[in-house]
Amino acid sequence: MVSKAIKKTPPKPAIKDRRSRSRRNKSPIKAVSAVSSIIHTCHRRLIKIFSKFARIGTPQNKKKKNKYAYQILPKTSTPTSARRSLFPAAGNRPLPPQTSPVKPTIFLDLDETLVHSKPDPPPEKYDFIVRPVIDGVKVDFYVLKRPYVDEFLEILSKKFEIVVFTAGIEEYASLVLSRLDRKSAISHRLYRDSCREIEGKFVKDLGDLGRELKRVVIVDDNPNSYVLQPENAIPIVPFTDDVCDAELRRLVEFFDGYCDGVEDLRDAIKARAVWFGINLPFNESHGPPSSALKWTSNVVDSLSKDEANATLSLVAFTAWFIWKARNDSIFRHTPVNPLETMSKVMYAHSEYSISLVIPSVHMDNHPTNDVASVWKAPDCSSFKANCDVAIRPDSSIGMAAVVLRDWKGKVVDGITKSLHVSSPLHGELFAIREACLLIEALGLKGMEIESDNKEAIHLSVYELVPPWCIAALVLDIR
């Protein structure tokens, strides 16, 4: 007999019993958990839906598919490098490479070199007005161009790279240059942020601008600007309002006539400092000469016989001492000192000129005192001023004295002053000038001035060319 296994299932409770049991077992915690699970599920499904939308709207990169289907941007530079590019260090911004490496470079100052400007009130003479905004305020500047500046820029731009290097701020200088440079003769512009500040002064360092120093010249009226490279500098007289100013015309003649073929422009600057630093007459109407001989011939032809003789002797002394300085530099490696060369030229020429007028004069800055001097009275009703100077040995410190007496020998007045001098002749001339000032202050007439230095007397009386270092004193006395 085969038996069949029957699986018995427990009887289902009645509906009424189940409802009452579910009410007994369901707690508030389980209800909150269920709701949280539903919200989480909905959130996850919403994320999937929006991810599909993002993949549809984002362009695909065919070369390289990334996992998330959005474009990866390239990495940017660090904040430090970004700041360096936005705010470069002052004085460390080299110029772009030259378009014509054959051209030397001339750095030109702006204010008092090419133009002169002033704020309100307006002057009587000006060429144009610029209105920069400085610290949020608009300021009017009235600009007067230096005579011959337009021709100066146009002529030199053909042979030189012209760079205006100013210590002025860009807000002001850029407006002036835009009005000044109508023909685009200026290659580059450098402003105050390209200067170096040394001891409170703006210095223009030419060594960091990407140009060879031997092919660089700077023209500036402020010596502080080129203190780092003085051998590359050509000083210029500051311009304010002189309509007869001819400085730029002279510079054109120098650059256009004397710098062709010069390998090192610093040598040409040294020669110019000597040649044009002395009182040689220069006839500008002839234009730039092709040689020193032609220039000398042009000058001599325009002078009288006496003036021509004096000029020729000065030219000869100048050429001789330039030649000696050149030989000392090449063979003895002695640095060229233009001021010292000028001094030698002027002293030698002065000695030569005096010897022509008074052949018996013995040139000596230190007169002998072997014979006691006796005071000689002046003419009746007149006065005499005796001058003398004493200088400490091995020193430039001295004392000048002036004694004023009448024809009877009675002391009327006197004066003493301490001074710093470069030579006994300098001191004697200083004393003579003090005597002249004293006489002028007292309003005296019929005066005589006596000094024991013959050269000082001759330079004061005769129309001789004095050495450059005492030229101002001699002109004041005359």
On whether the CB atoms of residues 110 and 168 are closer than 8 A, the answer is yes
Which residues sit opposite 315 in a β-bridge?
none
Q: What is the pLDDT of residue 45?
A: 72
On whether the CB atoms of residues 424 and 389 are closer than 8 A, the answer is yes
Closest CA to 417 of 430, 429, 426, 436: 430
Instruction: Please name the residues in contact with 222: beta carbons below 8 A apart, sequence gap of 6 or more.
Output: 109, 112, 167
Q: What is the pLDDT of residue 140?
A: 94
Give the model confidence (pLDDT) of 137-185 as tens digits. Answer: 999 999 999 999 999 999 999 999 999 999 999 999 999 999 999 999 9
Q: What is the pLDDT of residue 465?
A: 66
Q: What is the pLDDT of residue 155?
A: 93
Residue 298 pLDDT > 90, yes or no?
no
| Catalytic residue, candidates 17, 109, 220, 406 | 109
Q: What is the pLDDT of residue 271?
A: 74
**Nearest-angstrom CA–CA distance, 44 and 438:** 108
Ranking 53-62, 110-119, 463-472 by mean pLDDT, the lowest is: 53-62
Give the model confidence (pLDDT) of 400-442 as tens digits. Answer: 888 888 777 777 787 777 777 777 888 888 888 888 888 788 8
Work out the angle between the directed axes of helices 149-156 and 247-258 (0-180°, nearest 10). Answer: 10
Work out the angle between the directed axes of helices 424-442 and 454-461 (0-180°, nearest 10). Answer: 50
Residue range(s) of every CATH 3.40.50.1000 domain in the chain: 88-263
Please report which confidence band the pLDDT of residue 355 belongs to, taking 50, 70 and 90 as the band edges: low
On whether the CB atoms of residues 176 and 159 are closer than 8 A, the answer is no
| Catalytic residue, candidates 17, 111, 306, 394 | 111
Phi then psi for residue 31, to 5 deg, are -65, -45
Task: Map tokens 């090419």 to a residue.
Answer: 114
Q: What is the pLDDT of residue 474?
A: 77
Residue 304 pLDDT > 80, yes or no?
no
Class of residue 300 by CB neighbours under 10 A (exposed 0-12, middle 13-18, buried 19+): middle
From the CB of residue 112, how many other CB atoms can be counted at a distance below 10 Å?
17
Residue 338 pLDDT > 70, yes or no?
yes
Residue 71 pLDDT > 80, yes or no?
no
CA-CA-CA-CA torsion sign (171, 176, 178, 184): negative
Phi then psi for residue 64, to 5 deg, are -145, 115
**Nearest-angstrom CA–CA distance, 107 and 212:** 13
**Contacts for 352-360 with beta carbons within 8 Å, 24 or more apart?**
352/313, 352/317, 353/310, 353/313, 353/464, 353/465, 354/455, 354/458, 354/459, 354/462, 354/464, 357/458, 357/462, 357/464, 358/458
Residue 53 pLDDT > 70, yes or no?
no
Q: Which one is the CATH code of 88-263: 3.40.50.300, 3.40.50.1000, 3.90.850.10, 3.40.190.10?
A: 3.40.50.1000
Residue range(s) of every CATH 3.30.420.10 domain in the chain: 383-452
Ranking 67-76, 190-199, 231-240 by mean pLDDT, the lowest is: 67-76
Q: What is the pLDDT of residue 3?
A: 46
Q: What is the pLDDT of residue 176?
A: 96
Which pairing describes strands 447-450 and 383-391: parallel, antiparallel, or unpaired?
parallel
Averaged pLDDT for residues 179-192:
94
Q: What is the pLDDT of residue 291?
A: 59
Instruction: Please name the residues in contact with 364: beta carbons below 8 A apart, sequence gap of 6 or more.
Output: 454, 455
Buried b (16+ CB within 10 A) or exposed e, 12-23: eeeeeeeeeeee
Greater model confidence, 187 or 455: 187
Element at 171 (helix H, strand E): helix 170-180
Residue 121: cis peptide before it, omega within 30 degrees of 0: yes
Enter the tokens of residue 150: 């337009």
Enter the tokens of residue 274: 């000597």
Closest CA to 209 of 93, 124, 302: 93
Most confidently modeled of 22-36, 46-60, 90-104?
A: 90-104
Q: What is the pLDDT of residue 192?
A: 94
Residue 380 pLDDT > 80, yes or no?
no
Give the model confidence (pLDDT) of 262-280 as tens digits. Answer: 888 888 887 777 666 655 5
Most confidently modeled of 6-10, 96-100, 396-400, 470-474?
A: 96-100
The CATH number assigned to the domain with range 383-452 reads 3.30.420.10
Average pLDDT, the chain: 75
Residue 37 pLDDT > 60, yes or no?
yes
Please report which confidence band the pLDDT of residue 35 belongs to, taking 50, 70 and 90 as the band edges: low
Give the model confidence (pLDDT) of 82-137 as tens digits. Answer: 333 333 444 456 788 888 878 999 999 999 999 999 998 899 999 999 999 988 99
Q: What is the pLDDT of residue 163?
A: 96
Residue 284 pLDDT > 80, yes or no?
no
Is 220 annotated in the active site?
no
Share of the chain above pLDDT 90, in %: 25
Residue 455 pLDDT > 60, yes or no?
yes
Which pairing describes strands 141-145 and 128-130: parallel, antiparallel, or unpaired?
antiparallel
Averaged pLDDT for residues 64-74:
54
Q: What is the pLDDT of residue 369?
A: 43
Is 109 annotated in the active site?
yes
Residue 10 pLDDT > 80, yes or no?
no
Element at 436 (helix H, strand E): helix 424-442
